[in-house]
Amino acid sequence: MNYDSTISPNFARRDFRTDFHFPDLSIGSVPIGFPCIQAALSGVSDWAERQIARRLGASATVSEVMLDEFIISVTHAKGKKAKRFLRVEDSDHPVGAQLMGVGPEDFTQAALKVVEWGFDWVDINFGCPVKKILGRHRGGFHLSQPEMALSIVRSVRDTVPAEIPVSIKMRRGLDDSAESLEKFYEIFDGARALGISVFTVHPRTVLQRYVGTSDWKFLADLRKYAPDAVILGSGDLFSAEDCVRMMETTGVNGVTVARGAIGNPWIFRDLRELAAGRELPPLPTLSEQREVIEEHFALACELYGEKRAVFNMKKFSIKYAQIHPEHTKVRDDFVKFRTLGELRAILDRWYT
């Protein structure tokens, strides 16, 4: 069977090399090194998923998006939920915590809590495009109100210890209007004046969500506008080649991979191989794929317990199937499993 002919074009092996020099990255005072980070993604970048990303080459990771009021409530209770969302071990560093909320008071309390739990930096989410989030004046909604956005930034930066970096995740505006662009730069410039030097920018608008292509030219223009800022690029990074092209064409300091790493944590390994001047490695063998799926499930069981881990792994296993030569059949089987035994049977059927 021709492996590449049966899978998504994102995973096809092509002759690709680069002589691009990958600069070392730092988030404020936190050294990252290789400039490729596992991005925050709600319901995805939990402790288990971050462990897999790190093992396969991500230099740092960011927690899934956490509501400020949720962090305050679970840390007061100090129960299982707090341990699941805020788990940080020695091997996790460097790791950031991404927060989302409405106003400065709860944002600041939550920022102090995640620092207490051991996260290395605080990332403020001004980019989430989910309708429910926007309706509650969180995430990307803040791009429409620079005064409130900067009030949050000021409060967080003034309250967390000076040695803890604060970064911001943004989109290029609420929509394509000149007013939205002006507000983007008002927040960007205002945040820099408040001591923020690291920005992750997804060059789609909030209202665009994930429709169409991301505007990488916006990143290049922003790089020229603020050559001293640390700008991390996001958006349409589904392969190691995409990551190289974004860095080459835009001049960003690094990349953060979100959707492109779901089910394909090998994207980090592939990018490191390209950075070393080597060709893309072959796709992971079925044995290697199975090893990672089983490891991911074991970590999820440790985090959630077996029952919830089975439910949680469904969204990941469907994505892992994309790399399999019989991906449609494998995906259909993953959609149906309900127990650990059924998952093992699927792995025995397709990954031997």
Q: Which of 36, 128, 243, 301 is catalytic?
A: 128
User: Residue-wise over 235-266: b if at least 16 C-beta within 10 A, else e?
Assistant: bbbbbbbbbbbbbeebebbbbbbbbbbbbbbb
Kindly give the residue spans of alpha helices, DSSP state H, lying in the chain.
Answer: 47-55, 68-77, 80-86, 104-116, 131-135, 146-159, 178-193, 216-225, 240-250, 266-275, 286-304, 306-320, 327-336, 340-350
- In angstroms, rounded to a whole number, what is the distance separating the alpha carbons of residues 213 and 204? 8
Q: Is 301 a catalytic residue?
A: no
Write phi, then psi, for 212 (nearest 5 degrees).
70, -170
- In angstroms, rounded to a whole number, what is the distance separating the alpha carbons of residues 86 and 314? 22
Q: How many residues are there in the chain?
A: 352
- In angstroms, rounded to a whole number, what is the distance separating the alpha carbons of residues 264 and 7? 13
42 φ/ψ sector (left φ>0, alpha ψ -120 to 50, else beta): beta
Name the amino acid, one letter, at 121: W
- In angstroms, rounded to a whole number, what is the distance separating the alpha carbons of residues 220 and 172? 12
- For the record, the structure tokens of 337 come out as 């499993």
Give 228's DSSP letter.
T
Q: Which residues are catalytic?
A: 128
